[in-house]
């Protein structure tokens, strides 16, 4: 069965600090997809990144970076030099290739607060 665990319920840091959000997943499938979504206080869900299980390269997009390690079943998200606008709930998600299409399982989310 697929499962996503985000052990950090809430994180609070001061602006300009770096912060890492942890995501650990479980799957029996060899082909799967991992995602990160952002939910700002306005409530919409914003797609950030998608990674397939065969691509373990880390990715950097501006202040955001993602570290995918199959050996530890983790897909962690780091924000460098955090800003107040980064305050949001962040969700990690998993989709197994063998499961029915569009069946994405979400973690319970990490609420990130950036203090000015």
What's the min distance (Å) between Cβ of 53 and another protein? 10
Please tell me whether residue 64 binds another protein under the rule CB under 8 A: no
Which pair of structure tokens corresponds to residue 57? 């390269």
Nearest to 95 by CA among 29, 10, 9: 29
Please tell me whether residue 45 binds another protein under the rule CB under 8 A: yes
Q: Which is nearer to another protein, 20 or 108 (CB)?
A: 108
Query: CB within 8 A of 31, min separation 6: which ones?
Result: 52, 53, 54, 96, 97, 98
Please tell me whether residue 1 binds another protein under the rule CB under 8 A: no
- Single out the residue of 72, 83, 108, 113 in contact with another protein (rule: CB under 8 A): 108
């Amino acid at each position: 069965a697929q499962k996503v665990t985000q052990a950090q319920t809430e994180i609070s840091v001061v602006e300009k600090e770096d912060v890492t959000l942890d995501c650990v997943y479980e799957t029996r499938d060899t082909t799967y997809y991992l995602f990160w979504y952002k939910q700002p206080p306005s409530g919409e869900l914003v797609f950030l990144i998608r990674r397939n299980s065969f691509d373990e390269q880390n990715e950097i997009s501006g202040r955001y970076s993602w570290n995918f390690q199959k050996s530890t079943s983790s897909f962690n998200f780091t924000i460098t030099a955090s800003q107040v606008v980064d305050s949001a709930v962040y969700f990690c998600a998993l989709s197994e290739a063998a499961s029915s299409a569009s069946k994405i399982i979400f973690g319970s989310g990490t609420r990130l607060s950036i203090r000015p």
